[in-house]
Amino acid sequence: MQQMTPDAPHLQIQRTSVRSIIPRRAAPAPATPHDPAPSKLSYRVTRLWLTPIFRKALRIGIPLFALFAAVAWYLSDETRIAGLFEAAYEIRREVENRPEFRVNVLGIDGASEDVTEEVRAALALDLPISSFDLDLDALRGRLEALPPVRAADLRIQSGGYLAVRIDERVPAALWLTHEGLSIVDEEGHFVAGFGTRELDAPLPLLGGEGANLVVPEALDLIEAAEILGDRVHGLVRMGERRWDVVLTNGTRILLPEAGAPAALDRVLALHDVGEILSRDVTAVDLRNPGRLTVRLTDEAIDELQRMRALAAERSDEDQRG
C-alpha cells in the first residue's frame, strides 16, 4: 500500500493548476490541394506572347511607332523643314558641281557644216555645265525636230565630252509648189528651202501636188531617162496619179498611170531610131497603152499643111498633064 507523504496532496494540486494554465494547441486545419491550372487572364497572355506576330509587333512595331512619332514631331515645325530642304539642296549642288560630273566639250559627228550650225543653235548649251542639268531625251527631241535631221543620238562620255551623232537627211530632189522651191529627201521629207544650203550636185526637179509622196518613183524615171542627158528639165505630177516628163525644149512625154517606166523606154527607143524628141513635137502621149499620139508645134502643123497643099497641087498638075 502506497504511503502518502504529507506533501503529496499539495503536489497534486500544483499539477492540476499548471495544466489549466497552459492552453492546448489547436489541431492543424487540413491542407487545401494546389490547382495547377492557370487563370484565364494568365492563359490568354501566355498564348498571346507565344504568337510570332505579337512578338515582332512588340520588338519592331513599338520602336517604329516611337521613331515615327519623333520624326512627325520634328517635322511639325516649318522652319526645320525649310532647313532640311536647304541642306539637301546644298549637298546636291556640291555633288553636281564636282569636276567629274561637268560637261566641258561638245562634239557633233555625221552632219554637214550647215546642219552642224543648226544643231549647235538648237542645243544652245552654255558650257561647262553639270551633267545632271542635261535632259538628253529632251535635247534629242529638239534635234530630231530639225528638218534636216532624221535621227540624233546623244551620249555623255568620260572626260566631260558630250558626243552628238546626227543621221542627216540626204537631199534627193527639188520640189516646186505654189509656195516655192524646196529640197526633199528620198522619203519626201522637207530638208531645207532652196538656196538656204549648198548642194553637192544638181538635183532633179519635181513639180505638182503630191510629188513628194512618190519621190522614189520619180528618181527611177529620172535614172531611166539618163540617155537624154541635160535635155530632161524635170517631172510633173499630174492629178497625183501619173507623171509628165518635161524636156528643156518644152516637149512633154505623157506617161500612163501604170507601167510608166516601160512606156518611157518605148519613147526612148523611138528617139534612138528616129530622133522623135528632136523634132517639132510638143507632146508624146502614151496614156493609152495601145496607141502613141504625137502633138506637133504650130509651126510644124503649118509646114505640114503647106507640104500637103503642095503635094495636092502637084497631083493635080500630073493629072492635067
Global pTM value: 0.63
pLDDT < 70: residue spans in the chain: 1-38, 92-100, 298, 300-313, 315-318, 320-321
What pLDDT is stored for residue 310 in this prediction?
Answer: 65
pLDDT in tens, 112-146: 888 999 999 999 988 888 888 889 999 999 999 99
What pLDDT is stored for residue 38 in this prediction?
Answer: 63
111-127 in b/e burial notation, b at 16+ Cβ within 10 A?
beeebbebbeebbeeee
Q: Residue 113 is placed in which grid cell?
A: 557644216
What pLDDT is stored for residue 2 in this prediction?
Answer: 45
Residues present in the chain in total: 321
- Rg over CA atoms, the chain: 56
Compute how many other C-beta atoms are within 10 angstroms of the C-beta atom of residue 88.
Answer: 10
pLDDT in tens, 215-247: 999 999 999 999 888 899 999 999 999 999 999
Helices (H), ranges, the chain: 8-21, 40-49, 52-56, 62-75, 78-96, 113-123, 136-144, 215-224, 260-274, 298-320
Residue with cell 518613183: 217
DSSP assigned state of 131: G
Compute how many other C-beta atoms are within 10 angstroms of the C-beta atom of residue 171.
Answer: 19
What pLDDT is stored for residue 23 in this prediction?
Answer: 56
Using the Cα atoms of residue 188, residue 193, residue 197 and residue 202 in order, give the sign of their dihedral: positive
What pLDDT is stored for residue 185 in this prediction?
Answer: 93
What pLDDT is stored for residue 13 in this prediction?
Answer: 46
CA distance 88 to 82: 10
